[in-house]
Amino acid sequence: MNTNIIQVTYNPGASFQPQGIRGAVAQVDADVVELQITARGRIEVQGSSRFFVAGKDRFLLTNSDSIPAGAALSITGTVDDSQKPYKLKIVQSKPLSK
């Protein structure tokens, strides 16, 4: 089994589009095993749910209770795009300086 890694970079203001990534990968007879993102944004709280918001994109957080809401962050995490809102598991986070 071969493992290939692709990197997609979006311009500021563009939306995350996993279906486009999956479609491109399928054209070369391959499968996406994991979607990993690095993004800048903030954590917002809505009721009992926490979201990572980066530009137009909102990801439902599956972890991150220890990360404070509101502060600007750079994160790395894995995305489950099987349903909307997409679910994000943050693996690493770093506050952004002002």
Instruction: Check residue 12 and give its pLDDT.
Output: 83
Question: pLDDT tens digits, residue range 1-49?
Answer: 678 888 888 888 889 999 999 999 999 888 899 999 999 999 999 999 9
CA atoms of 89 and 78, how far apart (whole Å)? 5
> Which residues, at least 6 apart from 17, have a Cβ–Cβ distance to it below 8 Å?
none
Give the tokens for residue 71.
Answer: 């502060």
CATH code: domain 34-95 is 2.40.50.140
Q: How far apart are CA 92 and CA 3, in angstroms?
A: 23
Task: Write down the pLDDT at residue 1.
Answer: 67
What's the pTM? 0.89
* Calpha distance 72→44 (Å, rounded): 11
**pLDDT digits over 76-85, tens only?**
999 999 999 9
Q: What is the 3-state secondary structure (H, E, C) of the chain?
A: CCCCCCCCCCCCCCCCCHHHHHHHHHCCCCCCCCEEEEEEEEEEEECCEEEEEECCEEEEECCCCCCCCCCEEEEEEEEECCCCCCEEEEEEEEECCC
